[in-house]
Copies of this chain bind each other. A is one copy, B any other.
Amino acid sequence: MSALGHRARRPDPTPGEREQQVLDRIDKARRRRAKVTDERITLSHGAGGKATQSLVEAIFLDAFRNPRLEPLEDAATLCVGSTRLALTTDSFVVSPLFFPGGDIGDLAVNGTVNDLAVSGATPLYLTAGFILEEGFPVADLERVVASMRAAAETAGVEIVTGDTKVVQRGKADGCYINTAGIGVIDADAPALGVATARPGDAVLVSGPIGEHGVTIMLARGELDIDAELESDTAAVHGMVADLRAAAPGVRAMRDATRGGVATILNEVAKAADVAVVVDEKAVPVKTEVRGASELLGIDPLYVACEGRIVVIVDPAEVAAALAALHRHPLGEQAAVIGRITEDPPGLVLLNTTFGGTRIVDLLVGDPLPRIC
């Protein structure tokens, strides 16, 4: 039986209260125990956004739970004997395999090198696991392997062990590559992690965002535009080393791949229970990327980079950090794009170029499948 008729009518909420209610609902939804409600895997489970997060938390984290996995950083930090190590893995299923500025081979090396570098490790050794489709041209494999070799040389890492599987025609898409990597962490270096972000910290990006993602979409011919764009795929370990030497107050770094900068910032907000406030005007975006993103109906903040990092740094060291980034060829266009605040905890807010403020949530769906 409804008791509605007996309730005193509440006064209408003020605009401020209404905003708070929205924030509370978002917050509540976020803190809910992750659950995968889909019966089948969808592309969005691989997009790096909300569905990926649910899958990881509800299925993988729940089953494999251990203190090294739980931070869900780009690499796990381990102690083996007296040595501190970082260990990471990534599979690459990018389509097409070859694109302006790179191919699946250098992507596979740089991706793993970068996951190690942003975890504060010096990348050392990589593994390479190939899943090849029957009928894949050997010449293409040779081209991919040559890219891997060149990328490994540039990054100063060695590929020390590997594996090759072949599946029947139609059971893969030419070539998938998994790389895992280990790096060594300086025992005296301060620990890094998005959970250590504090109110007052500055948020930097090392360069213009979204070039990799838009390049892939253009290479697929899915956009009827011509743009002079190349993937930004690069190994960031050198830039990271310079940055950390100049600014020991760096709290966390992430490379902004699948899901883009927006996803990283959401991870920061959630892990540190802080707000991230981004100034849209300050975010470096090339005109071609902005244009293509508009056509795609996607915010460049969600578009993958493969050689850009997001940096959270102590406010006292912003100038030093920015100067160090600017001195490195990969960081010439680095910029401060926002700051960490206390409220509203767990959220990313964007001060738009039009003067408004909106919430930048995790991506729903997958507008850019198989970007890496």
Instruction: Report, as a range, how many residues of chain A touch the other chain.
Output: 35 or more
- Point out the residue from B87, B92, B165 that lies within 8 Å of A160, measured CB to CB: B87
Our pick among B125, B137, B170 for the contact of A87 (Cβ within 8 Å) is B125
What is the CA–CA distance of A325 and B171 in the complex, to the nearest angstrom?
A: 40
CB <8 Å contact, A63 and B166: no
The reply on A178 being an interface residue by CB < 8 A is yes
Q: Enumerate chain B residues within 8 angstroms of A167, measured Cβ to Cβ.
A: 46, 93, 173, 176, 370
Kindly state the separation between the CA atoms of A162 and B163 in the bound complex, as whole angstroms. Answer: 18
> Hey, which chain B residues are within 8 Å of A63, CB to CB?
145-146, 148-149
Partner of A124, one of B43, B80, B124, B133: B80
Shortest distance between the CB of A115 and any CB in chain B (Å)? 9
Q: Taking each of A43, A135, A138, which has the highest tally of chain B beta carbons within 10 Å of its own beta carbon?
A: A138
Set B52, B69, B125, B173: member contacting A68, Cβ < 8 A: B125
Copies in the complex: 2
Asked if B182 and A90 make an inter-chain contact with CB atoms under 8 angstroms apart, the answer reads no
Contact B184 A38 (CB under 8 A): no
B93, A161: Cβ atoms under 8 Å?
A: no
- Extra inter-chain contacts (10) besides given A64-B145, A68-B161, CB under 8 Å: A40-B134, A41-B166, A55-B164, A56-B162, A69-B159, A76-B161, A89-B180, A93-B171, A129-B129, A172-B173
Chain A residues proximal to chain B, CB less than 8 Å: 36, 38-47, 52, 55-56, 59-60, 63-64, 66, 68-69, 75-76, 78, 80-83, 85, 87-93, 124-125, 127-139, 141-142, 145-146, 148-149, 152, 158-168, 170-173, 176, 178, 180, 182, 184, 366, 369-370
